[in-house]
Chain A
Amino acid sequence: MTFREALRSKRLFFDGAMGTMLQAAGLKAGELPELWNLSQRDVVIGIHEAYIRKGADIVKTNTFGCNRLKFAPEKGTPSVAELVGAAVKNARQAMFHTWKDGYVALDMGPTGKLLQPYGDLPFEEAVSLYAEQVEAGVQAGADLILIETMSDSYEAKAAILAAKEHSDLPIVVTFTFDQDGKLLNGADVETAMITASSLGVDAVGFNCGLGPDLLLALLPWALKATDLPIVVNPNAGLPVERDGRTVFEVGPEQFAECMAELARGGAAILGGCCGTTPQHIAQVEESCRNIPLPAPRKGAPQMIAGYGSPVGFDGMPVIIGERINPTGKKRLKEALKAENLDYVCQLALEQIDKGAQVLDVNVGVPGVDEPALLEKTVKMLQSITSLPLQIDTSNVEAMERALRVYNGRPLLNSVNGKEESLKAVLPLAKKYGAMVVGLCLDDDGIAETVKGRLKSADKVIRRAQEAGIPQEALLIDPLAMTISTGAQNAQIALRIVSTLKQRHLKTVMGVSNISFGLPQRDAVNSAFFATALQMGLSAGIINPNSAPMMEAYLAYGALSGYDESCRNYVAYFADVPAESRSTHSLTKGGKTATSGTFALDEAIEKGLVQPAEEAVRKLLAEKKEPLAIINEFMIPALDRVGNAFEKKTLFLPQLLMSADAAKAGFEILKKEMSARAGSTEKGEPIIIATVKGDIHDIGKNIVKVLLENYGYQVIDLGKDVPPETVVASTLEHDVHLVGLSALMTTTVASMAETIRQLREKAPDCRIIVGGAVMMEEYAKTIGADYYASNAVDAVHYANDVFKQ
């Protein structure tokens, strides 16, 4: 019987711990257990045998941390392939000795590194580390792949992709949660299960971290989130320190009792992790073998997820923020062309604050490398928010790159009924487990009748099903066309929504298209949105900054009964004064510390964001030129603050608050300038970066904000930046000043290397360095032009270089 057949037809048992058994056999703290596959074969085989004799059907190979970060001939150890090969052979040997049938699971644990952006391991590097293990496991004849102890859903995704791309073996994924049911990156149980399940694995579940008693509380969440069989491999309780040693104290009987409860509660495969022994497994097998296998489940809701909580479409409709889309947005277009993703992040945070639950991400601007930019944008956004993203592009390459690096289960916008689209998009959606927006159009275009559009929808639904994507994973977009060109356009869209709702299908709509070409669009949009919600719209792609739209949404929640006791509705209006509601204007009132009328320079010096914004608006209303505002008010104020900081009459917090206030003022001026004439991404370009190996960037970010406030076009390469990237970017943008930051002594070497390469390839470029360990003398030694002891100092130097 294959593993996949067995999974559905009988109760299977995993073995228990390997690591703690090896420690009991003499493995020392800090010693690499995988080496024992070769050096202490008999011990390893003996442990496997003991488990098999006590009833384990599946044995995990002793390969938990077997990747090339730890094992390679150049590190003086055997290769990954050799160790994995030996490990599989050991497990197989044990089965042979015991005359029992069973399955050898290639065990893959975490890489031991954190993936970017939490750490410095690139996603594709993680995939490649796992791919090497998978290939070796397949070669050695493993029966299945167990991806275990995953405490980061992103790393789990890397491992799953590697397993799928390099084998056809069944895949089991088990996660390690804390007592609150969260992974280390914050993903909850549902999110983890949904993400893994969507990628097409065979079983999911829990291991390590907690004892079986604590897993009882988490199991229902997993059962709710996925239809796949659930695996439970807990520890023998929580670790306890006894006489200087870590021990697990839940004995076999108590362990088995809890496991039986888990089995009755719906867990399919049972086994153990740290601290469990063959006796534990024997007891579990005895007390659970007669508990009937849980019936196959069907009907887990299709949901999307980032790495927080999932978002479903079967209850209160979902708000998808539409703002990250350059269509008709000059400022965003320019920012994207200049790869200024800070602006994109600001748009994201603004929408999140206003109540978006999902963010649409579209970076399609003519002339940009969309695949690269979309990938970068998705990575950037998921470094600041765990909300799910809607990947919005028609560029198939961009689509795949974004789907690949996405952390969670994405929503893909979109596929349509055209052959070309169906053929290109559906396989990608299937591979990466995305939910998909299906547009009501096909090779004949957009039909002008309800019937015609439904025909397109049905084609998409049928083809998706053929590609293995159930109709529940689709959101059909009826395509709202503007009513200014077709009187029936709104009615057509609404009828489609209502028809599909009756067929229990999900719908989504870009709501604001409906009013294209009309004045006061929010009036039409919000009325249309309210009607569509009532017809059963599952998700609206809207501007959450628009008060009328959000009010229509909240009112619908209250009226439909989704918003129990009108809680959200009341909460929303609790802070909004009645008179300012319709215009969304700023709070009026007396002059307080943070509001009231201030002169612009005063607002900046005092570090007051809102007053600075108001002052800029006022000056613009008085027909002051943006450049004049900058030169006459902002720069002198910033200079005064900077000088006071250097003289130590004013301290870092004030400096930064002033920078924030100036930045807020600048944002308004940039919008204004971009509306008037061409690009705002001007000013002398300066590159700044935190060097490779270093992931601390607060200092660099402070310098960036200050430089930007002085009008420089800062190209921020981020943190952990390889020397080659700095050089390439310097040449590409013809940059004459590069700023490098390093925090620790260990990363100064990488700073020196970056400088060396810059000197070689871009000899005209000046280099300024800073960071906690830097000192003037040191900076000279490694060849920098200047050492800036603080951010103001850096600005002075830049001004000198560019003679400002």
Chain B
Amino acid sequence: MRIPFDEKEAIRYFGARAGDQQAALLVNRAFLFLRNELQPRSVRQHWRCRVTQGCGTAKGTVELENGTVFHSSTLARHLKGCSELLLFGATLGSRFDTALRQLSYRSIAEGAAAQAVGAALIESYCDEQEKIWKRDYPDTVTYRPRFSPGYGDWDLSEQEAVFRVLNCAKAIGLTLTEGGLMAPIKSVTAVIGMDTGKDPDEAAKNEEESGEISRNAQCALCGASNCPFRREG
């Protein structure tokens, strides 16, 4: 599978100013080297879910039909009005990690450029997969942007539950380290809320409250306020 490469996004992740030719060159060189090492895989599940908003000190919850519960008020707000969701995991594979290490030994600048390329590629891969998955559901469904463990108050430790439900290790070779980090490194797990419009009032209200969250606003959901890639607005 070919993943579209968003060069601009990679240059941004690299921390370069727009129009920085040298940085663009490094990013492109890294991409040319890395594209042969991609082994992208993904797993997706479609669940009916029950969203309960947080109240006082009690965190909001999102419960899947199999009884798995995710605890996060931000997630619950984000999924308000959704009766179904897609849960997925995606990874660029371990070969990418090896290549990344190799590049870092050759040149630290290329290593960092490669990291940026990886970040851009995994996002594009998720975008592409999302498009494919959405074909399986009626056109009337509207979708919320991807929301991952670690965003907002969704504790990273709940990755474990995500991994258990998706069986990520067997399905796509994606694992968790003891510290709860994903290996291979360039990977994403996330929830995509599906608003089936069964509750028109609720849906309309949602449109106002959480609405279609743009990529910029996605950053607003996250607590990493000193993140260098944070987008304002």
Q: What is A's interface to B at a CB cutoff of 8 Å?
A: 28-31, 65, 109-110, 112-114, 117-120, 149, 151-152, 178, 182, 184-186, 241, 244, 246, 342, 345-346, 349, 383-386, 607, 609, 651-654, 656-657, 659-660, 663, 692-696, 698, 701-702, 705, 720, 743-747, 750, 772-773, 775
Q: Which of B181-233 contact A (CB under 8 A)?
A: 181, 183-185, 224, 226-227
Residue of A nearest to B115 (CB): A698
Partner of A746, one of B17, B20, B179: B179
CB-based contact B156/A744 at 8 Å: yes
A609→B176 CA distance, assembly (Å): 38
Residue of A nearest to B225 (CB): A775
Chain B residues whose C-beta falls within 8 Å of the C-beta of A659 in the assembled complex? 108-109
Contacting pair A654 B22 (CB below 8 A): yes
Please report the C-alpha to C-alpha distance between residue A659 and residue B227 in the assembled complex, in whole angstroms.
Answer: 23
Chain A residues, Cβ within 8 Å of B123: none
In the complex, whether B16 has a CB less than 8 A from a CB of chain A is yes
Are B169 and A112 within 8 A (Cβ)?
yes
Q: A653-B14, A653-B23, A660-B107 are in contact. Are A120 and B173 (CB under 8 A)?
A: no
B residues in contact with A244, CB < 8 Å: 45-47
Contacts of B93 in A (CB 8 A): 184
- Determine the chain B residues whose CB is within 8 A of the CB of A746 once the complex forms: 156-157, 179-181
In angstroms, Cα B143 to Cα A253, docked, is 40
The interface stretch among B50-58, B73-81, B95-103 is B95-103
Q: How far is the CA of A775 from the CA of B223 in the complex (A)?
A: 12
Given A241-B44, A653-B112, A657-B22, verify A118-B102 contact (CB < 8 Å). Answer: no
Known: A119-B175, A698-B115. A660 touches B66 (CB 8 A): no
Q: List 10 A-B contacts (CB under 8 A).
A: A29-B66, A30-B165, A109-B170, A114-B173, A120-B179, A186-B95, A244-B45, A383-B101, A701-B108, A702-B108
Which chain A positions have C-beta within 8 A of B44?
Answer: 241
* B122 interface residue per 8 A CB criterion: no
The CA-CA distance from A653 to B112 in the complex, in Å, is 8
When the two chains form their complex, are residues A750 and B179 in contact, meaning their CB atoms are under 8 A apart? Answer: yes
Q: A110-B170, A652-B15 are in contact. Are A701 and B111 (CB under 8 A)?
A: yes
Q: Which of B15, B67, B156, B177 contacts A651 (CB 8 A)?
A: B15
Out of B47, B110, B115, B179, name the residue touching A694 (CB < 8 Å): B179
Residues of B within 8 A of A119 (CB): 175, 177, 183
Q: How far is the CA of A746 from the CA of B157 in the complex (A)?
A: 7
A747, B183: Cβ atoms closer than 8 Å: no
Return chain B residues, CB-CB under 8 Å to A345.
105
Ranked nearest first, the 10 interchain pairs of A and B with the lowest CB-CB distance are: A693-B179, A652-B15, A656-B109, A119-B183, A244-B46, A653-B23, A120-B177, A746-B180, A112-B169, A30-B165
Q: Is B117 in the interface zone, CB < 8 Å from A?
A: no
Interface of A is mostly: loop
Instruction: Decide: A653 and B66 in contact? CB cutoff 8 A.
Output: no
Q: Which of A119, A178, A772 has the most CB of B within 10 A?
A: A119
Residues of B contacting A607 with CB < 8 Å? Answer: 22, 109
B62 at the interface (CB under 8 A from A): no
Q: Give the CA-CA distance A109 to B170 in the complex, in Å.
A: 9
B183 cross-chain contacts in A, Cβ below 8 A: 114, 118-120, 695
Q: A660-B109, A773-B224 are in contact. Are A386 and B98 (CB under 8 A)?
A: yes
Q: Which residue of B lies closest to A113 (CB)?
A: B175
Residue on A nearest B15 in the bound complex, by CB: A652
A120–B22 touching, CB < 8 Å: no
In the bound assembly, the distance between CA atoms of A114 and B224 in angstroms comes to 28
Using a CB–CB distance below 8 Å, which chain B residues touch chain A? Answer: 14-17, 20, 22-23, 26, 37, 39, 41, 44-47, 66-68, 93-95, 97-98, 101-102, 104-113, 115, 136, 150, 156-157, 161, 164-165, 167, 169-170, 173, 175-181, 183-185, 224, 226-227
Asked if A185 and B95 sit within 8 Å, CB to CB, the answer is: yes
Docked CA distance A28–B165 (Å): 9
Complex CA–CA separation, A659 to B107 (angstroms): 9
Which residues of B sit under 8 angstroms from A695, Cβ to Cβ? 177, 179, 181, 183, 185
Pairwise interchain contact A656-B112, C-beta atoms closer than 8 A: yes
B165–A705 contact, CB under 8 A?
A: no
Q: Cα distance A736–B131 when bound, in Å?
A: 53
Which residue of B has the minimal Cβ distance to A70?
A: B164
Q: Across the interface, which residues of A come within 8 angstroms of B45, CB to CB?
A: 29, 244, 246
Which residues of B have CB within 8 Å of A110? Answer: 169-170
**One of B102, B161, B185 near A696 (C-beta < 8 A):** B185
A703, chain B: closest CB distance, angstroms: 10
- On chain A, the residues within 8 Å of B180 by CB distance are 693, 744, 746-747
* Chain B residue with Cβ nearest A307: B98
Given A653-B109, A656-B107, 9 additional A-B pairs, CB 8 A: A384-B105, A607-B109, A651-B15, A652-B16, A653-B14, A693-B178, A745-B150, A746-B179, A773-B224
Q: Are B108 and A656 in contact (CB under 8 A)?
A: yes
Find chain B residues with CB under 8 A from A692 CB: 178-179
How far apart sit A345 and B108, CA to CA, in the bound complex (Å)? 14
| CB-nearest residue of chain B to A650 | B17
- The minimal Cβ–Cβ distance linking B112 to chain A, given in whole angstroms, is 5
Closest residue of chain A to B14 (Cβ to Cβ) is A653
Interchain CB contact under 8 A, B102 and A384 = yes
Q: Are B156 and A653 in contact (CB under 8 A)?
A: no
Min CB gap A546→B, angstroms: 21
Query: Hey, which chain A residues are within 8 Å of B161, CB to CB?
Result: 30
